[in-house]
Amino acid sequence: MGSGECVADFQSIIAKQSDLSILDAQTLLAHLTGRNRAWLLAHPEAQLSSEQQNALAEALNRLAKGEPLPYLLGHWEFYGLDFTITADTLIPRPETELLVEQALGWLQAHPAQRRAADVGTGSGCIAVTLAAHIPDLHVSASDISPAALAVARANAQKHAVIDRINFIEADLLPVPLTPLHLICANLPYIPTQTLAQLDIFGKEPTLALDGGPNGFSLIRRLLPQAKRNLARGGLLLLEIESGLGQAALTLTREYFPESGITLIPDLAGHDRLIRIEI
């Protein structure tokens, strides 16, 4: 990296030396310079200091070793909000915004239903986003990982909703004092053998990804818990593996034979969400 290179040059260097898109290269440069992307686009001639160049070299080295960009940055955007993340939490993904959209739409249509649970909360992106958009919502956010819960609490504090989210270390759904109106769950759902072949294997926490032999190990355990603790007229939302839509329908019908069950595709047309209205 030469001293005469500018922001535009470094953007090209990042794209060539890593698998990052131009957008992600700009995001990395913004992180290193303390500027936003708009400023970088308006000042392509700007120079990086020697300290910033050294930091960029270190970042490229970490990326080359397989570290995902969001972990390097320490934060990532989800549903328009900025979330702190660590290697103890799954990186929030755009597909999960479908679950949030469905939950918000239902909550807005049912203003008296304000007791929700986010099972396997991870970074807290679902619980915090719902609480941030529904001012009188109270959420129980559970996770088996104490480290993930610490991150989720920090995100709730960051977005000023910590007074309405109860964080609980638990294996799936803790028994609520009163029936819940809404249960959301983005549980590990990738079949074990499939996960081992994916690029993310070993880069994000296996605990948050591995859904067991058929991808339903945790979902199958959650379904009877949800049936016992969801109020009549309530809603259960489950994110699923894209290739397991029909199998997920069959499984959920075993536990909710009289409920309205819908399989919802994501923006790419892949099966992504099971919606159960009891």
123 and 31, same structural domain? no
CATH number at residue 19: 1.10.8.10
106 and 32, same structural domain? no
For residue 105, the enclosing domain spans 76-277
110 and 41, same structural domain? no
Residues near 218 by beta carbon (within 8 Å), at least 6 away in sequence: 120, 172, 187, 188, 189, 211, 212
Residues near 159 by beta carbon (within 8 Å), at least 6 away in sequence: 81, 128, 131, 132
139 and 24, same structural domain? no
Query: Six-digit token pair at 61?
Result: 């080295």
Q: Confirm whether 111 is domain-assigned.
A: yes
Q: What is the DSSP letter of 244?
A: G
How many domains are there within the chain?
A: 2
Whose CA is closest to 275, among 248, 254, 241? 248
Q: What is the pLDDT along the chain (278 residues), one digit of tens a residue?
A: 455 688 888 888 888 888 888 889 999 999 999 999 899 989 989 999 999 999 999 999 999 899 999 999 999 999 999 999 999 999 999 999 999 999 999 999 999 999 999 999 999 999 999 999 999 999 999 999 999 999 999 999 999 999 999 999 999 999 999 999 999 999 999 999 999 999 999 999 999 999 999 999 999 999 999 999 999 999 999 999 999 999 999 999 999 999 999 999 999 999 999 999 99
Q: Which amino acid is at 77?
A: E
Q: What is the DSSP letter of 144?
A: S
Specify the pTM: 0.94
119-158 core/surface letters (b: 16 or more CB in 10 A; e: else): bbbbbbbbbbbbbbbbeebebbbbbebeebbebbbbbbeb
